[in-house]
Amino acid sequence: MNPSPCQQPIVLRLLFFSVLRDITGSAELRWELPAQSTLGDLQSALEQRWPQLVAWRPTMLMAVNCRYEKSGALLLDGAEVAFMPPVQGG
């Protein structure tokens, strides 16, 4: 994906919960991506930075602005993206 030179990157607020917070070392991060990026693009970028996240991809829950989304969802500037491991009962 090659954005137009006039397109500004989008800035996202990322939230990590439970073991995903442990992997990234932070509960909240600010992240920039090219305009027209998808949730899957964001996942790939995060997995490059933290390869341990790859193992969580099949079961990781993702929400954009408090709404569960799939990897094809288009991200908009200012979005809040939450990453959660699957819920386990006891």
Residue 39's Cβ-count burial label (10 Å; 0-12, 13-18, 19+) is buried
Region 20-42: mean pLDDT is 98
Rounded mean pLDDT of the chain?
A: 93
What are the structural domains, with CATH classification, of the chain? 10-84 (3.10.20.30)
Assess whether pLDDT exceeds 90 at residue 5: no
pLDDT at 87: 79
Q: Is the dihedral of CA 55, 60, 62, 66 positive or negative?
A: negative
Tens-digit pLDDT profile for residues 42-81: 999 999 999 999 999 999 999 999 999 999 999 999 999 9
